[in-house]
Amino acid sequence: MRLTVIHTSVAFLLLAAVAPAPGAAGEPAGDLLVSRIALGSCAKQDRPMPIWSAVSGFKPDVLLLLGDNVYGDTEDMAVLRGKYDLLAADRGFGAVRNTVPIVAVWDDHDYGVNDGGSEYPMKKESQQVFLDFFGIPADAPVRKREGIYRQLVVGPPGRRVQFICLDTRFHRSPLASIPRAERVKGRGPYVPSDDPEATMLGAAQWEWLAKVLRQPADVRIVLSSIQVASTEHGWEHWGNFPAERARLLKALRESEAAGVIIVSGDRHSAEISMIPTGEEALAYPLFDLTASSLNQPKRVDTDDEPNRHRSGARFHGENFGSIEIDWESAADGGSPAVRLAIHDVDGKVVRSAEIPAGELAPAPVP
């Protein structure tokens, strides 16, 4: 980064604002071999966070934060920074942050407003606060972009992991909702939008996504703050914009990208979902691993929320997710075996799915 004709003290402040906290690992370096990934979302900054001990115990190579990393909900950037400061001050989080590279996206609460989209007036300012906290360099392209979308590719050829970070807030159109008098408690207020102009990502991000899906990688982790596979509940998910969800699945299919796995948060419950081959014209099964919440469990007596793609039952306690990649299982350039899991606050695996080697690749053309 170039700094010219700037007083030393000012230069120091600028560097401090865009660098990781002292000792923080920052984002992963390009030569890092990634085999163990931890992920989670929804961390209330002023509540205890015992789960970080279990995350540390998993010994991840990378940590993915999937949004609601703090609960900002403000148009005052000083207030927002203060809430990030509370997260940084948590001893358990600090121990992880200082040793494990982090790749993060935001959701509505760290964006600035509950269920918010493009109408949020402080989105540009909030973007810089987000990038500052996660130590994104001052000269990174995302600093000049409208939105936090970006990608990282790490690892050697044949063992490359691509992290595709989507921004589902900055450009998102307004949600369609049920009139208040007709809402059913616990069912959610939203319905699919029939607006043909509605967008989730915005034109520039869609163009960018089409390009990065064609870059060389062996496993691709798509970070989406909201769910892709589960669309039958009345809260936020990609199904709120059916045409945009169809466009996402089409982009994955037409890119012929192998190794794609979706990871999502938001729901204050965890589950593993899978869209099977052929059901929505996909070339191979598409998994959506939802890990939420890190420290805000949803206590429920029954679980009747529909999700025809769910494997097993939802988990409602504090949790984090994991992805383990068995690179040794890949043969002749095929996709490796992968294990997806949900862990409880003690680190115990409570839900899991095994993806055999070669499964995450389009079938050969006859």
Q: Give the model confidence (pLDDT) of 212-221 as tens digits.
A: 999 999 999 9
pLDDT digits (tens, 9 = 90+) for 247-257: 999 999 999 99
* 22 band by pLDDT with thresholds 50, 70 and 90: low
Three-class secondary structure of residue 151 per DSSP: strand
* 8 band by pLDDT with thresholds 50, 70 and 90: very low
Written as one letter, the residue type at 31 is D
365 has pLDDT over 90: no
Which residues contact residue 6 at a Cβ distance below 8 angstroms, ignoring those fewer than 6 apart?
14
* 4 band by pLDDT with thresholds 50, 70 and 90: very low
Mean pLDDT of 1-25: 44
Sorted by where each begins, the domain ranges of the chain are 22-355
Q: Contact, 238 vs 228, CB < 8 A?
A: yes
- DSSP assignments along 196-231, one per residue: TT--SS-HHHHHHHHHHTTS--SEEEEE-SS-SS--
- Percent of residues, the chain, with pLDDT higher than 70: 92
366 has pLDDT over 60: no
305 has pLDDT over 50: yes
Give me the phi and psi of 208, to 5 degrees please: -60, -45
82 has pLDDT over 80: yes
User: DSSP state, 366?
Assistant: -
Cα radius of gyration rounded to whole Å, the chain:
20
- Percent of residues, the chain, with pLDDT higher than 90: 85
18 has pLDDT over 60: no
Average of per-residue pLDDT values in the chain: 92
Least confident of 22-26, 106-110, 134-138: 22-26
Counting every residue written for the chain, the total comes to 366
Integer Cα distance of 28 and 15 in angstroms: 19
Instruction: Say if domain 22-355 classifies as CATH 3.40.630.10.
Output: no
Mean pLDDT of 87-107: 98
Mean pLDDT of 344-364: 93
Written as one letter, the residue type at 45 is Q
Half-sphere exposure of 242 (CA within 13 A, CB side): 10
* 16 band by pLDDT with thresholds 50, 70 and 90: very low
Q: What is the pLDDT of residue 127?
A: 98
pLDDT digits (tens, 9 = 90+) for 120-154: 999 999 999 999 999 999 999 999 999 999 999 99
Pick the residue with more confidence: 10 or 31? 31
